Chain A
Amino acid sequence: MSGHSTYEPKTGFERWLDARLPIVRLGYDSFVDYPTPRNLNYWYTFGGILSLCLASQLITGIILVMHYNVGDAFNSVEHIMRDVNYGWLIRYMHSNGASMFFIAVYIHMFRGLYYGSYKAPREVLWILGCVIYLLMMATAFMGYVLPWGQMSFHGAVVITNLFGALPIVGESITTWLWGGFAVDTPTLNRFFSLHYLLPFMIAGVVILHIWALHVVGQNNPTGVEPKSKADTLPFTPYATVKDGFAMSVFLILFSIFVFYLPNALGHADNYIPANPLVTPAHIVPEWYFLPFYAILRAVPDKLMGVLAMFGAIGCLFALPWLDTSKVRSMRYRPTAKVYFLFFVVACCILGVCGAKLPDDPVIPHLKTFLLIDADLNSFVWLSRVATLYYFAFFLAILPILGLKETPLPVPDSIASPALSPEKKG
């Protein structure tokens, strides 16, 4: 899609620079003249929103590091909150920014899933996105440890212990991760180091992600590749103004959390300094990890649970080859659309299950019967059903459905349905 560059240096300096480092040309071709499908809807604005999130996290993070002190972690965070000018703002932006980042990335991923943005020739683009997501999860986990509150500490204990489930190498890996024989100051130190490193790795992979995007071009709600000039519009001003509007609306949501609900997405326990001798009643990860936490706990065996959890992310990497459908967008796959809907619901159910105690009843005050190890009316069984569906969606439904279903007729070009009065979401 990059096509032929239409950039024409206008001033003498631009001509001089263009012959030596065509960086202005790169910017012009990527963000001004770059052709975007004319039918992109608001679900397609989250890529831009995500780059805003990354920039915000990087800037606030770098400022926080100027005042944070690993040796006195908990108190130094409070020093930022109380004594640093606008420290409370920077810190709340950073902690809530992580949640906003994940809200945006989940919408971005569901959008890619729905419109088939992982299908050829966009497999590498999709996989790079999955790598970014993995790096984000690692970064967010280590960032949550840094305030060194009770949930930071015990969350780190639970997550690092997962690696201990691996046979033979498990114990050595956990000792290596901890930098000792328990989660302690050396663990915090290395997490701090890695928490500073990984965002720059994310930024690097984001560049690759955008590069891959600009090679194959953007997908669009019809899933039909642009065929002529009539199908596309230049990135600027069409996409920039739409992305800009979406970013501004997203910032309103962000601001509501930062200024009015700054601790709503956190845990009260994390305002208690880390204490290895006192374990919080319920150790719960941040909301964006809850679906995976539920998958982990759904499996009765620890090692199998860990494998299932990583397998859940692994499915995303294999997705381009799991979906056999020739039709890209689910807009023209009525059956797949229904299964997709259930998939989103299953993910939300897993999120709820991850926050609850496994043995608590889903429907209060209702005792049914014991099935294997828990009452049927319990969150652990609900999470098992949802986990099963999660894997079935990737490993059975998408591979089989693509061969069996009868899709609706796909339009010849983007412009044909886009120009017709009837529009579909």
Chain B
Amino acid sequence: MLRKLSIIAAVAGLMIGGQALAAGHPLPPKDVQWSFEGPFGKFDQVQLQRGYKVYREVCSACHAMHLVSFRNLGDKGGPFYNEKYKNSNDNPWVKAIAKDYEVADIDSETGDAIKRPATAADRFPSPYANEAAARAGNGGALPPDMSLLAKAREGGPEYIYSLLVGYKDPPAGLKVGTGQHYNPYMAGDLTSAWSGSHEHVPPGGFIAMAAPLKAGLVTFDDGTKSTVDQQAKDVTAFLMWAAEPKMEERKKMGFAVILYLLMFSGLLYAAYRQVWKNESH
């Protein structure tokens, strides 16, 4: 009885849940086949390295990533992990990357505020001193911190990728303010800026960031052709890693745990049958 009932409830839920998009809503993100999808998905290390380069050369000019330390780049599953350097603080690539950055510190002798080259233990320094400075530099908009971005947006990595490659010329009849850009994947409601009919409000919203990627903007060291699509995919993969650096470890452990539980359940079921063998119920 209850089984039938739960099926009915599930079907009813699906029927109600399946809703078409009304005018004005952003477009659903494009479907991308990521290497890290699925129960056995892994990050593609070379892609993460390319993605890091895009972050370093393009995004990091405005976007902070304050939860990520340089050493994380050399952690297992990270873009610069190397088996030879189990302790990522010893990883020469990590050390070299860190040295390129300057971080604020205090001179322990004099107490003066100084700048020194970063070490593997440091976090990625933020491009702006504070939120006000970040807003002032970006026409009032705050570039979001990128440490968790891939988990902090509905649609996750596919949303970020779609947004990056989705910039379009605004349709005629849409009034775009100064410092604003039209993007059909951006969340928002364009009704007030739209002069056409209410039935045909264009999808998407306004975003303060101009299309950041251009073909050839970043040179990939592995010879991969530097298209906008490639850069967007790579940097999104990198951001997914930054948001969920323990994903590979998690999935790997999950496989073992579930396999164990399946066997354990089988054993318990056999025990149950054995114990109840002579008892009707």
Which of A's residues lie within 8 Å of B, judged by CB?
38-40, 43, 75, 78, 81-82, 88-89, 92, 110, 114, 233, 237-238, 241-242, 244-245, 248-249, 251-252, 255-256, 258-260, 262-263, 268-269, 271-272, 281, 337, 341, 344-345, 348-349, 351-352, 360, 362, 364-365, 382, 418-419, 425
B127 at interface by CB-CB < 8 Å:
no
Give how many A-B residue pairs fall within 8 Å (CB-CB): 121
The 10 A-B pairs with the shortest beta carbon distances in the complex, nearest first, are: A259-B254, A271-B152, A245-B268, A348-B9, A248-B265, A364-B20, A271-B148, A88-B246, A271-B151, A241-B272
Are A248 and B250 within 8 A (Cβ)?
Answer: no
Contact of B20 among A242, A245, A365 (CB under 8 A): A365
Q: CB within 8 Å of A: which of B196-219?
A: none
Q: CB within 8 Å of A: which of B6-62?
A: 6, 8-9, 12-13, 16-17, 19-20, 22, 39
Q: Could you jot down 25 A-B contacts, CB within 8 Å?
A: A38-B281, A40-B281, A75-B67, A78-B67, A78-B147, A82-B246, A88-B246, A237-B275, A238-B275, A241-B272, A245-B268, A251-B261, A258-B254, A259-B251, A259-B255, A260-B39, A268-B152, A281-B187, A341-B5, A344-B9, A351-B13, A352-B17, A364-B19, A364-B22, A365-B20
Task: Write out the residue numbers on chain B whose beta carbons fall within 8 Å of the beta carbon of A251.
Answer: 261
- Tell me the complex Cα distance, A75–B68, Å: 11
B257 at interface by CB-CB < 8 Å:
yes
- Tell me the complex Cα distance, A360–B281, Å: 49
CB distance from B231 to the nearest CB of A (A): 24
CB distance from A350 to the nearest CB of B (A): 11
Which of B's residues lie within 8 Å of A, judged by CB?
1-3, 5-6, 8-9, 12-13, 16-17, 19-20, 22, 39, 67, 72, 144, 147-148, 151-154, 156, 187, 243, 245-246, 249-251, 253-255, 257-258, 261-262, 264-265, 268-269, 271-272, 275-276, 279-281
- Tell me the complex Cα distance, A233–B275, Å: 11
CB distance from B255 to the nearest CB of A (A): 8
| CB-CB under 8 A for A249 and B265, given A241-B271, A268-B151 | yes
CB distance from A279 to the nearest CB of B (A): 13
CB distance from A148 to the nearest CB of B (A): 13
Are B254 and A255 within 8 A (Cβ)?
Answer: yes
- Tell me the complex Cα distance, A337–B281, Å: 22
Interface of A is mostly: helix
| CB-CB under 8 A for A259 and B8, given A82-B245, A242-B272, A349-B16 | no
Are A259 and B253 within 8 A (Cβ)?
Answer: yes
Closest to A351 in B: B13
Are B151 and A252 within 8 A (Cβ)?
Answer: no
Task: Write out the residue numbers on chain B whose beta carbons fall within 8 Å of the beta carbon of A425.
Answer: 1-3
- Tell me the complex Cα distance, A337–B3, Å: 13
Contact of A269 among B5, B152, B265, B280 (CB under 8 A): B152
Task: Write out the residue numbers on chain B whose beta carbons fall within 8 Å of the beta carbon of A418.
Answer: 280-281
Closest to A251 in B: B261
Task: Write out the residue numbers on chain B whose beta carbons fall within 8 Å of the beta carbon of A237.
Answer: 275
- Tell me the complex Cα distance, A38–B279, Å: 8
Task: Write out the residue numbers on chain B whose beta carbons fall within 8 Å of the beta carbon of A365.
Answer: 20
Task: Write out the residue numbers on chain B whose beta carbons fall within 8 Å of the beta carbon of A263.
Answer: 151
CB distance from B244 to the nearest CB of A (A): 8
Of listed B8, B13, B144, B254, residue having the most chain A CB within 10 A: B254
- Tell me the complex Cα distance, A39–B280, Å: 8
Contact of B279 among A233, A248, A258 (CB under 8 A): A233
Are A260 and B261 within 8 A (Cβ)?
Answer: no
| CB-CB under 8 A for A252 and B17, given A241-B268, A425-B2 | no
Are A114 and B2 within 8 A (Cβ)?
Answer: yes
| CB-CB under 8 A for A43 and B1, given A245-B268, A268-B151 | no
- Tell me the complex Cα distance, A81–B250, Å: 11
- Tell me the complex Cα distance, A244–B265, Å: 8
